[in-house]
Structure 1
Amino acid sequence: MKPAVMVIGGGQAGLATGFYLRRAGLVPGEDFVILDAADRPGGAWARMWPTLRTFSPTQYSSLPGWMMPPWTQDSGYPLAAHVVDYLTRYEQRYELAVRRNVSVRSVTRGDHGLLRVTSDRGEWLAEQVVSATGTWSRPFVPAYPGTFGGRQLHTAQYRQASDFTGERVLIVGGGNSAAQILAEVSRVAETTWATLRPPRFLPDDVDGRALFEIATRRHRARQLGEPDKGGVSGLGDIVMVDSVREARDRDVLHARKPFAQLVERGVRWDDGSESSFDTIIWCTGFRPALGHLTALGLRGPEGRIPTNGTQAVKESRLHLIGYGDWTGPASATLIGAGRTARELIRSLSIE
């Protein structure tokens, strides 16, 4: 089988790409194939902790073609399960024929100007490959000297606050995940928050809608050669969802500078003092899951593949989507993935 386009990854970015491929006249499962390593729909959302919420209302958290159904359970933004249900039905609605439990091992250059996609379920040759594997499968934990004898886990492994009842918990990281997890865990445990710099909270009325528009304006300015007026980082890092605002009201959103090293019972701070902890939760982000592209030899600074838009600079048949702003404005968000996918399809010259 030789599809025109192979899409690697069946999460939000892969589904948005599939939508536009289908709209361009390509037949799912024949002209283009979406491969996904997971055994169920939902992408990374299906593996996130249940109490995680989106940063925007449903109309600003939707993929192209079909708006996410309204969230009516409470006054907050949708929970992860609502997003999973939406992505599951979206996949079915557009009959995208995602092939699951397929782990792609490598993408290499094949004969006759094609790319070869090798997986644990067989091989395909394609004219174009879209990589949409995201970052969730590559959690990042910074290296610190010393050894900690307690429990350690990453954001990717966090499930519920009750797992830490009565414990002393250190939460490391200054982003949205850290703030939301701190807000939950601080209700049942004694928490300490360590960040590289003082946490910067967005105004209460700023959410994902504003963040996406800011990222889009900045991207357009760069394309037009206009002065860069800065991105969302100028406003802050942490969206004030309901749980974080509640934690602020409880006066628990206090952070201290990073520790110097790990010790058996906890950490040693820069001033030489030590604090004991039962658990460390690393909310320190993720790295792009690009191992399947290693053989193409495209990696640049910081492990990224240099791109022009979504197209790899050194391999015109390869596109990347959903890894962050370097593959499209806010392309790692639901609404951003859709808008980036539209531009991606245009660059494939099939629309």
Structure 2
Amino acid sequence: MQPLDSLVVGAGQAGLAASYFLRQRGIDHLVLDANPQPGGAWQHRWASLSMRDVHGVADLPGSTAPDGSDEAANLVVPDYFDGYERWHHLPVVRPVHVDRVESEDDLLVVRAGDRVWRTRTLVNATGTWTRPFVPFYPGIASFAGEQLHTAHYPGAEHFRGRRVVVVGGGASAVQLLGELAPVTGTLWVTRRPPVWREELDGAAGLAAVTAVEERVRRGLPPASVVSVTGLALRPQEQEAARLGAYERLPMFERIEADGVRWADGRFEPAGAILWATGFRPAVDHLAPLGLRSPEGGIALVPVRGNVQGATTAVRDPRVQLVGYGPSASTIGASRAGRQAALAVARQLATAAA
């Protein structure tokens, strides 16, 4: 089989945007997606998350995203992605779980079980959803109740009658407390005091993305864009606020069979722990390429005047990362898809010269 000019791994927002722009440039490529159907990570989000609850779904290039409504996001967005793939005839192959990417002379070798593709360039768009992060605390294995990460949140009714400790200082923790507090007892625990905001203006949003871009430029592991924008309560969370759900406590020292304990001896009983502690980039399959810096992240080449346009791996310009670092948002992912396609075109031209 002739090598492809490019191969995209992942068919979420970033992967579809990259494929759209690669097709516009006439670049021969495939998109490999681990999911059995369209929708990216959205198809796995909890059923109670409505379109009006999400922080916004950006338009895919050349189309208009669905408006906010009371419909479930895990149905609306996958339907949008499905229609987009078909309308633009994007070359998505699924389900394909990529195990590893290796370098072989001038080509990249992409392996998925016994299937192999060779490509001149690669656009990685695997996001973070498949790598939920749960920090270790002493006694975590001794807890007799239920522990779940937000990636597996089954809805508020599942916890009725059990006091839930929600761990994490991000937007997901705020949303889930908003659902849980009117149904059952809750306790909110975070490492740092939350920073509340009334509204996120353009300047503050740019500053947040720039801070993330700076980390990636230095080769540090990326921080979430949302983690640096601050938190806001929406109208549907006001009842939880009235119930005291957002009266936060600092992190406990250890977990016991029936609750959590602080260093000063304070103990709080709990029947469940919900870890709203974020995700890590799903890039383990790229490990054979040696892209990580000594600081632990994958350094990207900065793009002057475009903080969300950094996609090219410093250590291997054949590899583009979209939906990573500063482009890890629906808006950033679409913008990075355009930049990645441009970088792929340049790399192909350079290799052919």
The TM-score range, normalised by the shorter chain, is 0.7 to 0.9
Is the CA contact (8 Å cut-off) linking 2:212 and 2:225 kept in structure 1? no
Question: How far 1:90 sits from its partner (Å)?
Answer: 1.4
1:334 paired to 2:327: no
Give the Cα separation in 1 of the matches to 2:293 and 2:120. 24
Give the Cα separation in 2 of the matches to 1:321 and 1:260. 37
Taking a change above 3 Å as real, the CA distance of residues 164 and 124 of structure 1, as seen in their structure-2 partners, is: same
Give the Cα separation in 2 of the matches to 1:346 and 1:340. 10
Is the CA contact (8 Å cut-off) linking 1:201 and 1:236 kept in structure 2? no
Q: Which runs of 5+ in 1 are unaligned?
A: 223-230, 326-330
Is the CA contact (8 Å cut-off) linking 1:202 and 1:235 kept in structure 2? no
Q: Could you tell which deviates more after superposition, 245-254 or 213-222? A: 213-222
1:344 paired to 2:348: no
Equivalent residue in structure 2 for 1:163, among 151, 158, 161: 158
Equivalent residue in structure 1 for 2:76, among 57, 82, 107: 82
Is the CA contact (8 Å cut-off) linking 1:132 and 1:320 kept in structure 2? yes
1:41 paired to 2:38: yes
Taking a change above 3 Å as real, the CA distance of residues 249 and 265 of structure 1, as seen in their structure-2 partners, is: closer
Give the Cα separation in 2 of the matches to 1:242 and 1:148. 34
Taking a change above 3 Å as real, the CA distance of residues 302 and 148 of structure 1, as seen in their structure-2 partners, is: farther
| Amino acid aligned to 1:55 | H
The TM-score, its normalising length taken from structure 2, stands at 0.84
The TM-score, its normalising length taken from structure 1, stands at 0.85
Taking a change above 3 Å as real, the CA distance of residues 333 and 162 of structure 1, as seen in their structure-2 partners, is: same
Q: What does 1:136-175 align with in structure 2 at a 5 Å threshold?
A: 136-146=129-139, 147-175=142-170
Question: How far 1:199 sits from its partner (Å)?
Answer: 1.5
Size of the alignment, in residue pairs? Answer: 325
Give the Cα separation in 2 of the matches to 1:303 and 1:221. 14
1:238 aligned residue: 231
Runs of 4+ in 1 over 6 A off after TM superposition: 217-222, 231-235
| Amino acid aligned to 2:279 | F
CA deviations on 1:167-214 (whole Å, 9 max, x unpaired) are 1110000000111111101111100000111112221x438x776545
Q: What does 1:14-93 align with in structure 2 at a 5 Å threshold?
A: 14-26=15-27, 31-52=28-49, 53-56=53-56, 61-73=58-70, 79-93=73-87
Taking a change above 3 Å as real, the CA distance of residues 219 and 242 of structure 1, as seen in their structure-2 partners, is: same
1:286 aligned residue: 279
Q: What does 1:111-260 align with in structure 2 at a 5 Å threshold?
A: 111=105, 113-120=106-113, 122-146=115-139, 147-203=142-198, 205-206=199-200, 212-215=205-208, 236-260=229-253
Taking a change above 3 Å as real, the CA distance of residues 206 and 80 of structure 1, as seen in their structure-2 partners, is: farther
| Amino acid aligned to 1:39 | P
Taking a change above 3 Å as real, the CA distance of residues 65 and 139 of structure 1, as seen in their structure-2 partners, is: same
Is the CA contact (8 Å cut-off) linking 2:170 and 2:226 kept in structure 1? no
1:6 paired to 2:7: yes
Question: How far 1:270 sits from its partner (Å)?
Answer: 2.2
1:310 aligned residue: 311
Give the Cα separation in 2 of the matches to 1:167 and 1:219. 37
Question: How far 1:216 sits from its partner (Å)?
Answer: 5.8
Taking a change above 3 Å as real, the CA distance of residues 281 and 121 of structure 1, as seen in their structure-2 partners, is: same
Give the Cα separation in 2 of the matches to 1:234 and 1:297. 28
| Amino acid aligned to 2:144 | G
| Amino acid aligned to 2:54 | T
Give the Cα separation in 1 of the matches to 2:240 and 2:108. 50
2:218 aligned residue: none
Give the Cα separation in 2 of the matches to 1:221 and 1:33. 31
Give the Cα separation in 2 of the matches to 1:7 and 1:314. 19
RMSD: 2.6
Is the CA contact (8 Å cut-off) linking 1:201 and 1:238 kept in structure 2? yes
Give the Cα separation in 2 of the matches to 1:39 and 1:234. 31
